[in-house]
Structure formats: structure tokens, C-alpha cells
Amino acid sequence: MAASTSLTLSQAALSRSAVPRHGSSTTATQQSTSLATLSIPTFSGLKSTSTSSSRAPTRRQVSSTRRRVIANAAVETLEKTDTALVDKSVNTIRFLAIDAVEKANSGHPGLPHGLCSDGDRFVLSAGHGCMLQYALLHLAGYDSVLEEDLKQFRQWGSRTPGHPENFETPGIEVTTGPLGQGIANAVGLALAEKHLAARYNKPDAEIVDHYTYCILGDGCQMEGIANEACSLAGHWGLGKLIAFYDDNHISIDGDTEIAFTESVDTRFEALGWHIIWVKNGNTGYDEIRAAIKEAKAVTDKPTLIKVTTTIGFGSPNKANSYSVHGAALGAKEVDATRQNLGWPYEPFHVPEEVKKHWSRHTPEGAALEAEWNTKFAEYEKKYAEDAAELKSIAEGVFPAGWEKALPIYTPETPGDATRNLSQTMLNALAPVLPGLIGGSADLASSNMTLMKMFGDFQKSTPEERNVRFGVREHGMGAICNGIALHSPGFVPYCATFFVFTDYMRGAMRISALSEAGVIYVMTHDSIGLGEDGPTHQPIEHLASFRAMPNILMFRPADGNETAGAYKVAVESRKRPSILALSRQKLPNLTGTSIEGVAKGGYTITDNSTGNKPDVILIGTGSELEIAAKAADELRKEGKAVRVVSFVSWELFEEQSEEYKESVLPSGVTARVSIEAASTFGWAKIVGSKGKAIGIDKFGASAPAPKIYKEYGITAEAVIAAAKEVC
């Protein structure tokens, strides 16, 4: 396999791998995390990687002892390996991929078949070639990818799903599959390394020093997200990002000549990348070694190594064709490929000399890890405060009492737009959360996302914590995913107008799927933004995110609820959060609380007794004030009215049945909801006898009060609906 030089544990400090979770019987010892076991080099020169647990356990138990052995494994250094053994290792990986895809009768054999000589990897952006990564993990000795797991490729309950999933397979850093997401994640990972190195390295102690490697293909190159992220990588000068471009000229529909004829080299050069071309990516091991060595020597810009390969290399009848891209070769072609490459072994066989070649790294890795631990112990003695911060980021353990920094509001506190209150929260949290980092898609002054005590993360100032993403929403979201998955104590946030989540939904879905705790600060949350009109006024967005699994959708109504949303969002490191925030000023309401937000839905005012109100009025965000005003009027007429804030549907659903009954008693069917957005989904809350007031058409351009009146988002409409249902 191809590699340049060893990447020591100290060079890969704080790069971490996913560990199993979703409810296994992993012990407390297995779940505990030290800075040493968080220091995990991943796929530099086909190295073996750690699977230390900084995350919750999964249903798949992995032996703690075995994991620690693998954690200590060193990096492959091919300059001391004979070519014949390299060829045998390469062909082992090729045929593990072929055999797994053939057994599953599903998958993409072409990329691992053609690219397996490009050894260094970290993020497989071309995630459809995941058998390459699984084969590497298997050879590296991961219990997560045993021979049986390879045989269960793409099957129910296997640890080898159809695309790499960090939450299923230890050793997989990020979830890839949607093309372009992976390279953008890699940019985030490289940003995290550059930032930590700038903050914590000292002249006498280089404690953070690792590379980010990525493999991407033609499909990734065609996706706009890749260009967005790679433009930023060049701008930021991420010199430790090395991307291998699998230049095989084949996509699912055929030769790339039919749709993709640009000069990728020229484009990346214009983006500020260093470009290297390896013309023989199939067997040109020396070329690949030289390319990696050259890439590492370029420290002021990322490197794209264009590796020209033959898709399905070795297949006599299907190589260099689109037919090998997304389907099994077939039994006859598998046999022909075995003969063509001189591979006499049965399916899934790993030759003994290949096993020995890979396993020899374990004792070497143990020594490297011990060396790094000693180095960090000295660092702790000299730089105790910095070491504590670094541990907080690496281990995901926040300083005690951090949440006390969040302000508390009373009805007497002057009202404000929740976007402004959001900035108050960010600036309150920044001093107490060392991993808080983020920014906006060219809207910082409108989204109100600047941390005022810090400068901008730039090529020359990577220690700063305000990130300028430019108008690149999709790339921004995926970069933040990479930051979040780098170390569990990072709390990345990003911002734009709520309606422009349409540009970044793919990255947000991957946040939810891969359990990346990104905070999405989304302002201008409704028709309340006014004159910009329907192009900028979200309607269906709240409903669509409420339908997305494993994501928290918050719509806070005032200062306390904004603080409460931030508290939950920061604590939720395995679940992303969206904060939909107002442009218009809102009052601080009676009865709102930080604690209430954690319940998702809670009562803010109630003049009923015995949990039997005449009517329940439910609101979110700016419309909670409208519900409260309507309640005041109804109470004057003798009605017993409960007002409920429904700030997060997801959190409310997670409460006990007893609690939910205390807020929305099943015996009270007179319910009215009001929200300046689609009514889709509200029937579940108000029931068949209730009324949902909302907007089921696009907005309009006018001052906000006029739009609210014309669309019937008023206290008068709530009062009328309440009288109708009770």
C-alpha cells in the first residue's frame, strides 16, 4: 500500500475515531476517556487507529482489551517494505472488496478496486467505495470489522453498512455517502487541527500536530459543496489537508466526458491549493510516496494529489467502464479477475505474510503512544491552564458550572429580538466554553453571531474563534460537522437566515445522522422579517425539521427561552440543534424559564384548577406573546385558560406520559395553536377538535405588522378559535 512516512501519535493528537454506541453493555471503564486514548491517528499510510470511547456505547460490543491493542498500533511505513509484499497487500484489499460486494450482490467494487494503492486516508468522501475502508480496518486488526463483518457487507445489523457510518463502525471518523460531504468534513477536521495547534502548541512543546487525509472522486468534484469547502480550505491555508482525487473518468452514467470536462487541476490551483499529479495510481507506489512527501513539505496551502487510476483495475472485461461502478462483478468476472491478478486464494482469505506485515505495528504503536503521553505530561506541568482547556475540548467535559453564565430575564427586562438575545448567549458562553467556535454565511451582522472578545479565524490568525464562511451555506454546515466530530468538546455553530437552510439541508441531515452536535443559529424565522418578502420568509421549514430524526428544533419566545435553548444545545453533543430566531423585538414573558425549555413544552400561565382548563392556547416563538394576550382577554370573560409554550416538539415527546398529561391533559380537547408557519403537524398536538392557526401559503412583502394582520396571525383570531372549540 502507498504511504510516505509514519505519522506518529503525537502528530495525530486529538484526531479521534467513532466508537460503538446505541445501547450496548459497554462498561464504565470502556466508556472512560483519557487524553491519551483520544489521540488517534487515522489512516495515514494505512496505519491502524484507536477506537477510544469519547462517545456513548452502541449495541455492538467491542472488546476493550482488543481496542486498546489497536489504539497503540503504529503507522505503515512502506519505504521499508518490499514491492512484492506491497502488491500482495494491495491485492488482499482488492479481493476483500470484490468478495464482499459479490456476496452482498450489492455495492461499488470499482473504487476500492482501483484506488487501494493510495494508502493514506482519513475521510472517504467517495463513501460508496467503503469496502476499501472496511478492508483496511480489518487488516489493521479492528474487532469492529472481522471477517464475518466483511461477509455481512450491506446486510441487516452488520457493522459494514453500504456507506461509512461513524455511529456504526469503530474506525470510521465521519459519515459519508452524499457526494461532496466528506471533503467538506475533512476541511472542518483540518480547521480544527490548525486552530488547536495555534492555541495550544508552544515553542518547546508541539502537542497538536496531525494531518487530515481525504479521498474524493469525480462525483464529489461535481458537487457544489466540494467547491465551497475547498475554496475556504485554500483561503485558510490548511497546509495539513491532503486530498487524493481519484481521477478515473467514470461516473454512474458513463465516461465523465459526457458532463464533466473542466480542468480540476486548474480550478484547485485557482482555489489556492498545491497540485500534484500521480499518473500511475494503480501500481505507481514510488510516485505516490513522492507525492505525499511533497504534499507534507507544502505547509501554507492544502494539497490535491490527482491520482489517475483505472476503475475496476484487474478486471479483464469490466475495468475502465461504468458497469463496475455500482454493481457486483458477477461470478465469472470475479474468477477472471483472480486469474488476471494471479490471486489463487478463496474468498475473504488474507495471506499469512500480509497479516504479519500489518500486525507488527502494535508494539511500535504502544511505544509511540507512551512517548506522546510522556510529552503531554511535561506539557501539563509547564502549561497547566492550557492543558486543562485542551483536555476539555478533547474529552468533551465542560468546566463545572458553565451554564451559570447564561443570563436570566424577568418580564420587566426590556424586550429584544431573539437574534440579539442569541448573541448575548454566545458572548456569555464563549469565556466558559473553550471549544465554542463558529460564524455565519456572510451575515454575521444580521445573524448576530460574533463573539466580541475574539478575532477572526484566518490563515494568519488560526487561534481566533469567529469563522467567516462567506456565502457558502452548504459547505459551512458540513465543515461544522467535521469540527464537531474532531473532538467532543468542540461546540461549533453556524448561521444564516432560516429560509436558507434550503441551501444546506444535506449537511444538516448528515449532522443528525452522524450525531454531530452542531448548533444552527437561524435568524429571520418567519413572516416577521417583513419587507424582504416571500423569498426570505420561511413557511414549511419548521415542519420539515420537526420531521427529521435526531435533531432538535427550537423556536424560543424570549430571553429565558433563548438561554434555555442554548443550554440544551450545548449539552447535546450527539444531536444537532436548530434555533429559529426572530428579527423583530419580542417582550420577556411571564412564566418562561430555562428549565421549562428542557421539557420542550410547558405551561407559562394558567388560571384553571384540577388540570381542567376550558381551553389550552399553544404558541411558539413570536406567537407565544399573541397566545398570552388572547388568554388575558378570554380570562376577562371568565374562561379558565392555560397558555403553553411549545418551544421544542422533540423534547416534549421525550418526557414521561405523566408530565405530558400535566401539560396537555387528554380530557381537554379544546386546544388552539398559533404559529406563523405551516400548520402541517399541528393536528397531532391540538387533536381533531382543536384549531391550528398558521400560514399554508407563501408570505408577502410588507411591514411585519401588516402581514400578521392580513394572514390572521393575531390575538383576535386566537380568541375566535378558542370560543369555537370550547
Give pairs for 385-389: CB < 8 Å, separation 24+: 386/199, 386/200, 389/199, 389/200, 389/434
Is 485 one of the annotated binding-site residues?
A: no
Q: Is 526 exposed, middle or buried (0-12, 13-18, 19+ CB in 10 A)?
A: buried
User: CB within 8 A of 199, min separation 6: which ones?
Assistant: 386, 389, 463
Q: Is 248 annotated as a binding residue?
A: yes
Q: Beta partners for 245? A: 216, 306
- 137 three-state secondary structure: helix
419 is in an annotated binding site: yes
Spatial neighbors of 520 by CB under 8 A, at least 6 apart, are 477, 493, 494, 495, 501, 508, 511, 576, 577, 578, 579
- Residue 252 labeled ligand binder: no
> Rounded CA gap, 426 and 579, in Å?
13
Question: Is 250 flagged in the annotation as binding?
Answer: yes
- Burial label, 202 (beta-carbon count in 10 A; 0-12, 13-18, 19+): exposed
Query: Is residue 325 part of an annotated ligand binding site?
Result: yes
Distance CA 213, CA 539 (A): 40
Query: Is 108 annotated to bind ligand?
Result: yes
Q: Is-catalytic flag, 473?
A: yes
Q: Is 22 annotated as a binding residue?
A: no
- 136 annotated to a ligand binding site: no
Report helix, strand or coil for 671.
strand
Query: Is 286 annotated as belonging to a binding site?
Result: no
Question: Distances in Å between the alpha carbon of 79 and those of 119, 351, 630?
Answer: 13, 21, 76
CB neighbours (10 Å) of residue 595?
A: 11
Q: Which three cell numbers stand for residue 230?
A: 475547498
Distinct helix (H) and strand (E) counts, the chain: 29, 21
For 467, the 3-state DSSP assignment is strand
The set of cell numbers assigned to 695 is: 400560514
Distance CA 157, CA 131 (A): 16
177 labeled binding residue: yes
Cβ-based burial of 171 (10 A; exposed 0-12, middle 13-18, buried ≥19): buried
| Type of residue numbered 353 | E
Q: Which of 473, 515, 623, 650 is catalytic?
A: 473
Beta strands at 241-247 and 212-216: parallel, antiparallel or unpaired: parallel
- To 5 degrees, how large is the angle CA 304–CA 323–CA 216? 15
Using the structure block, give the residue that is written with the C-alpha cell 382548563.
613
178 known ligand binder: yes
528 is an annotated ligand-binding site residue: no
Question: Binding residue per annotation — 680?
Answer: no
Q: Are 3 and 119 in contact (CB under 8 A)?
A: yes
* Residue whose grid cell is 490548525: 194
361 known member of a binding site:
no
Contact between 309 and 114 under an 8 Å Cβ cutoff? The reply is yes
Instruction: Please enumerate, by residue number, every residue annotated as part of a binding site for Mg(2+).
Output: 218, 248, 250
Instruction: Please enumerate, by residue number, every residue annotated as part of a binding site.
Output: 108, 128, 177-179, 218-219, 248, 250, 325, 419, 446, 500, 524, 532, 536, 583
Instruction: Please enumerate, by residue number, every residue annotated as part of a binding site for thiamine diphosphate.
Output: 128, 177-179, 219, 248, 325, 500
Active site residues: 473
Instruction: Please enumerate, by residue number, every residue annotated as part of a binding site for substrate.
Output: 108, 325, 419, 446, 524, 532, 536, 583
